[in-house]
Structure 1
């Protein structure tokens, strides 16, 4: 059931006048960008705007450039590293054993003194 509003669903600037009311659109140029998968992306830019050298492909998300023959290579994905993997990069097994031994000795001393440890 309609509410009776005459302007329901319209927006500001949506009138019968069109460009005469809003003014002329800026002159545009289309630039082609090519990705490693062979996709072409053609965004439009204002003629006086600075055109970027690279663009993200709208189909696959890879980086794209204006050079059709040599598109940029896909970025290398590094696998996820756990906290333990980063720790192992910084410490040798010998250092880790010494740190563990020191921590256990500290914990045993705190328990002997009656400190409540959870």
Structure 2
């Protein structure tokens, strides 16, 4: 038995399959796309398919268009938002003050009840 490093299912000198085994390829057209960083991408498309207006640049990831002088603008990235930022979007300052006052009142009632229970236990 070998060490398991042998390539199986192939022979020395075997190359990739050619057109004879796969059949003829469809006629193709190469279209240039340009991104905001002035990268040119030339993907190929079959002649009988609709070519998209935009293509993602494989170098920088920005969208690329067909016009080299007017490429699509790069997407705007939103900065990371904290939980507090999302809460402030949903509630006004007055709403926040009301919620805070309600929570403090509840906490004060709870503490008063605990204090009263401790005083009653100390007396009795």
Query: What corresponds to 1:45 in structure 2?
Result: 45
1:26-68 deviation per Cα after TM superposition (whole angstroms, max 9, x unaligned): 1111111001111000111111111100001011111100011
| TM-score of the pair, normalised by structure 1 | 0.76
Partner of 1:106: 106
1:67 counterpart = 2:67: yes
Q: How many Å separate the matches in 1 of 2:34 and 2:73?
A: 11
- In structure 2, the CA distance between the partners of 1:90 and 1:17, relative to structure 1 (3 Å rule), is closer
TM-score by length of 2: 0.73
Gaps of 5+ in 1: 114-118
3-state SS of 1:55 partner: strand
Query: 2:33 corresponds to which residue?
Result: 33
Relative distance call for 1:90 and 1:16 in structure 2 (3 A) is: closer
Q: How many equivalent pairs are there? A: 110
1:75-114 alignment to 2 at 5 Å? 75-110=75-110, 112=113
The RMSD of aligned alpha carbons is: 2.7
Structure 1 pair 16–43 and aligned structure 2 pair: CA distance change class (3 A): closer
The answer for unaligned runs of 5 or more in structure 2 is 115-124
Structure 1 partner of 2:119: none
Which 4+ residue blocks in structure 1 deviate beyond 4 angstroms? 14-17
- Flag the structure with higher helix content: 2
